[in-house]
Chains A and B, each alone.
Chain A
């Protein structure tokens, strides 16, 4: 298959001129750190602030007037996204949404390249690439504006983190005046910059595909070594675990194999967001993501949210089919899913209550995720620990042991009356009849 790419013209009048968006959704063998929640729902479809994680991506994409087509690329089965795509087509009539399934994991760049014909159909000038496991305000229009101003071949979304946290991410060195990316390293061993990769990109189509192609060629010439960084390690959600798949020539990753070269040779710029940004990596990270998306919806005066009252501390999302007793106190940062029931005098704060869950009278749920059809008994207390707002970590150290900050009940768990559950992760179908703390209940 050959790729016909014309030289980029300064004026784009003759090219397709449009923009497409790609959301990288990963596959079932990924997202293991999102267990136990990913055992029942693929992570991209997990409800945060009342909507699937990728719905928030689509909402942002829908605000870019030049985008009419969105591809989800991943290696889940076809059926996984069918209902979501159907519903979204109604909600976002201007977007055509398609799922492109990789039959084997190809890497973030490999997947793009594999589906280049579908992506390049209609000759779009730009593509947005969004990792589905980030939570942010997705300032896509601002990125597009910067791209036009700079006549960029690539724009990356960046954010500042603490110097300690920086080495857990891809680090960007940029010219503060021109905003040009000078250097990019994925997870450096030493401190390079606290401006990090948010996992959201805008590429000129005539730049990204040749870059991937030359990376593939390099890989074929020098298998395994290629452009691997010395500091490469395994804890990014964007990369693949270091298994056999890794060694296949087709696994090409944007972060390891493409961005570093682009910094050297291309018109590569960074748009630095001052808004919130979080990875949705572990199951517990759904709680800060929930809080941030709810806050955003509250600031945008979304009619979906419940107005403030004596027993509602905003922002709170309650699905129209959920039943919340008027004496229950909810919020801040609470999402209650379809058909969930919250009893008299219950308290829910900084938590997600999923579909069909029930919280009985006088129970207290703090910093927790209550799984689908789970039950929390009367006067029970299900509790996690708040983490600092600036923290990108969802575990805490208690008595010298690392435990999950957020308490998570998987699907159909039951907490008996008056029982206390603190800093626990509880796998599906468990019944808790004694007090537990700092445990994984298997």
Chain B
């Protein structure tokens, strides 16, 4: 997912990227090295030793962000959409104020924080209304911003929220604008949403006729929207799709049925397994004739034994599952 973001940022002329993380960067490092070379960018990893909220990490990365005086993008990693970075930067430049928030229109704004514009102004933000009971608008924060470096002066190095503190502060000074997002947007922080987001992304690739998708002429592709890393191996008599993503070094056995699922790097699905609406974590193994469905999520290095059924199980890393999980449960 982060690759999509890096790719889109590089295409918009970004030269330095900071990843603000607070857990296991080692699993990412190998991939990041490849991306740096591939896209000709510098990637810095900034690790919070204690959680700093959504604004604090920006202050932590101040040195990189202030390299030159150009604006910087901020992205929440669990948001997926068709990233509009070039247009966003142009718009931001045109209004000349300190910050721009990407907004998306939603059907049910009452579940989110809604943005209200200044009267008679198309983009300048007047205020935020958290979970409105009455209709005040349907534009919500999409979790993507472009900010001038001067915004860093508004942030202190402590746990602090960009949405709760920094933005209202900027709004008061009339320094924050909104930018409407075209195309799909999805917060994929939850596994269920991650799967839906993946489907949306694959559909958008397919709409664009992307070469990344595995062509439907492959005998195992069923219903399209299938993205398979070239290093993955697929067995005989499989039926794969629609909406399947298969990562690097994945091994899929014979007679496997996959739909609406993501197989992370290094995972292995053995012969005759059946997987739907499931995320198979890195280096996990799914046994022969196993059946996984209903938003099952396997963490890193999970093993599902042969013939096991898992219904909506969230399986923590390094677990081995030897008996059926009939009802959704978290297995620790």
Residues of A within 8 A of B (CB): 327, 329, 344-347, 349, 361-362, 364, 366, 379, 381, 383, 398-399, 418, 420, 422, 437
Contact = CB atoms under 8 A, between A and B. Distances in A.
Contacts of B139: none
Interface string B225-258: 0000000000001010000000000000011010
Given A362-B272, A418-B274, A420-B309, 11 more contacts: A327-B254, A345-B255, A345-B271, A345-B272, A361-B255, A364-B307, A381-B289, A381-B291, A381-B309, A398-B326, A422-B309
B304 to A, nearest CB: 14
A36 to B, nearest CB: 24
B315 to A, nearest CB: 19
B288 interface: yes
Nearest to A438: B326
Interface residues of B, number: 15
Nearest to A346: B272
Contacts of A381: 274, 289, 291, 309
Given A361-B255, A362-B257, A418-B257, A349 B307 contact: yes
Contact of B289 (A327, A344, A347, A398): A347
Interface string B167-194: 0000000000000000000000000000
Which secondary structure dominates where chain B touches chain A?
A: loop
A364 B237 contact: no
B255 to A, nearest CB: 4
Given A347-B288, A381-B274, A362 B309 contact: no
A344 B272 CA distance: 10
Contacts of B289: 347, 364, 381
Contacts of A329: 288
Contacts of A420: 291, 309
B251 to A, nearest CB: 17
A349 B288 CA distance: 13
A379 B309 contact: no
A361 B237 contact: yes
Contacts of B327: 399
Contacts of A327: 254
A420 B308 CA distance: 13
B254 A379 contact: no
Contacts of B239: 379
Nearest to A435: B293
B289 to A, nearest CB: 4
Interface string B35-76: 000000000000000000000000000000000000000000
Of the listed residues B237, B257, B288, B289, the one surrounded by the most CB atoms of chain A closer than 10 A to its CB is: B289
Nearest to A365: B289
Interface string B264-280: 00000001101000000
B326 A347 contact: no
A379 B257 contact: yes
Contacts of A399: 327
Contact of B291 (A364, A398, A437): A364
A420 B291 CA distance: 9
Contact of A422 (B237, B255, B257, B326): B326
12 contacts: A327-B254, A345-B254, A345-B255, A346-B272, A361-B237, A381-B289, A381-B291, A398-B326, A399-B327, A418-B274, A420-B291, A422-B326
A344 B255 contact: yes
B281 to A, nearest CB: 23
Contacts of B255: 344-345, 361-362
A418 B327 CA distance: 19
A389 to B, nearest CB: 17
Interface string B297-326: 000000000010100000000000000001
B237 A344 contact: yes
B253 to A, nearest CB: 10
A26 to B, nearest CB: 36
Contacts of B307: 347, 349, 364, 366
Q: Top 9 A-B pairs ranked by shortest CB distance?
A: A345-B255, A362-B255, A364-B289, A347-B289, A362-B272, A379-B257, A345-B272, A379-B274, A381-B291
A344 B309 CA distance: 21
Of the listed residues A345, A346, A381, A420, the one surrounded by the most CB atoms of chain B closer than 10 A to its CB is: A345
